Amino acid sequence: MTRRIGTVRHARRTRSHALGRTIAIALAASAGFAIVWVQTLAMQFGGGIDTRDANPLVTKTPESPVEDLPGDPLTILLIGSDARSDENGEIVKDGVEGMRSDATVVAHLSGDRSRVELMSIPRDLQVEIPDCTLFDGTTVPGGYGDFNVAFSNGGRHGDPAEAAACTINAVHDLTDIPIDHWAVIDFAGFTRMVNALGGIPMCIPERIVSQDADLELDAGRQLLDGAEALGYARLRTAEVGDVSGSDLQRITRQQQLLERTLETALAKNLFTDVGALTSFIRAGAESLTTDEQLGDLGFMIRLAYGLRGVSADALTVTTVPWEYTDDRLNVLMTDDAPLMFDDMRHDRPLSVMSEGDSTSEWDPEPTTSPDADAPLVEPDSPNSAAPDNIDEILDTCGS
């Protein structure tokens, strides 16, 4: 239907011109701000992120479903590395050489950016590991075993891109989910990024003392700095605290930490505050290796802008559905796993969730009841500052 335009009087035309000038000035100002934003980001961390092309080593990429989907769904493989070189070597002092994956998460962003789904893959999930080809043409044979062997096979030369490519091949074979982008971050970068956020607020269910994790936390409301958050994420054994030693329980702690991290980022307007965003990315840039597109400045800005409306309620954190092997030393996928993979592959909300048991849960009956009204325990780090809505983030503490 066509709308008919009537005669415009002179006074009306003058107001229209004034309005047009106002809009033009506003648009120019907005464009100018965007340019300044981009330039600021470029100066702050341009070139700091190590970007690599791992595509030549990715042997087979599943085809994306041909569907009329809203927007452009993205799947990013996030890998935490315990590489023993440089600053990271000062954190990991266990005498083990090489590079291993300490955490592997498939992050799916729905096409309309209304959902973020994080699916952890257990390190000791028993799978077929494909052969791994390196940039020099050598091939590391695969075989049946722990999932994280894929990363260590690719990391024999200490190259994150080779390790990422071999892990991507394993994920493709396991899930049939096409990986669009990848990122590898080491412990040092994780520590700095947590500090850049001002710490991560957590509700600790019971007192924890672990010499191996270099961690000592009281029960209750805590603002973890980078070193404490890393120790909490890596915690496997403890002299004090009901820690099962299970990698699955550690995954649960890591997932809780990821949830709190997103909540903290949203509370601090990370995706819209140029200063906060630059500080956060700069903190991890030197310890971050990504594919070439994900590490591109313009792509990062568009991705952050697309996530500006995401709320904490839109986040789903889960694990590949699993069950123990007969000896209870490793885990296998259950029949629900292909359903979860298919939902993610087709950009559907997850219809199944992983179920654990007492060895994987991390909400034990606390030996010391956390007090929801107790003051927040903040670390000594001068970079730490609790977000303004700390009470909302920790509203479940002690419940």
Residues 34 and 55 in one domain: no
Decide if 8 is inside a domain: no
- Examine the pLDDT at 96 and tell me if it is beyond 80: no
d(CA 47, CA 69): 34
Instruction: Please give the pLDDT value at position 375.
Output: 55
Decide if 6 is inside a domain: no
Residues 28 and 88 in one domain: no
* Length of the chain measured in residues: 399
- Examine the pLDDT at 4 and tell me if it is beyond 70: no
- When pLDDT is averaged across residues 110-135 and rounded to a whole number, the result is 94
Across 99-103, 270-274, 339-343, 346-350, least confident range:
270-274
- When pLDDT is averaged across residues 161-179 and rounded to a whole number, the result is 97
32-42 pLDDT tens trace: 444 444 445 55
- When pLDDT is averaged across residues 127-152 and rounded to a whole number, the result is 96
Decide if 215 is inside a domain: yes
Residues 29 and 146 in one domain: no
Tell me how many domains the chain contains.
2
Decide if 9 is inside a domain: no
Decide if 112 is inside a domain: yes
Q: CA dist 63 to 56, 73, 119, 348, Å?
A: 17, 14, 20, 17
What's this model's pTM, rounded to 2 decimal places?
A: 0.74
144-167 pLDDT tens trace: 999 999 999 999 999 999 999 999
Decide if 110 is inside a domain: yes
Dihedral sign (CA 323, 326, 329, 330) = negative
Residues 332 and 365 in one domain: yes
Residues 140 and 124 in one domain: yes
Residues 89 and 32 in one domain: no
Residues 23 and 70 in one domain: no
Instruction: Please give the pLDDT value at position 33.
Output: 43
Across 91-100, 185-194, 267-276, least confident range:
91-100
Residues 28 and 107 in one domain: no
- Examine the pLDDT at 256 and tell me if it is beyond 90: no
Burial 292-324 (b: 16+ CB within 10 A, else e): eebbebeebbebbebbeebebebbebbbbbbee
Decide if 10 is inside a domain: no
Decide if 398 is inside a domain: no
Instruction: Please give the pLDDT value at position 333.
Output: 96
DSSP structure class, residue 213: T
Residues 224 and 321 in one domain: yes
- Examine the pLDDT at 11 and tell me if it is beyond 70: no
Residues 370 and 339 in one domain: yes
264-279 pLDDT tens trace: 887 877 777 767 777 7
The last residue of a domain, from among 6, 25, 46: 46
Instruction: Please give the pLDDT value at position 388.
Output: 56
d(CA 296, CA 276): 18
Instruction: Please give the pLDDT value at position 257.
Output: 87
Report the percent of the chain where pLDDT is more than 70. 72
Instruction: Please give the pLDDT value at position 139.
Output: 96
User: The domain that contains 83 carries what CATH number?
Assistant: 3.40.630.190
Residues 277 and 256 in one domain: yes
d(CA 231, CA 285): 21
More confident residue, 381 or 148: 148
Domain that holds residue 238: 50-393
Strand order, beta sheet including 101-109: 50-52, 288-291, 181-186, 74-81, 101-109, 116-120, 315-319
The last residue of a domain, from among 25, 46, 67: 46
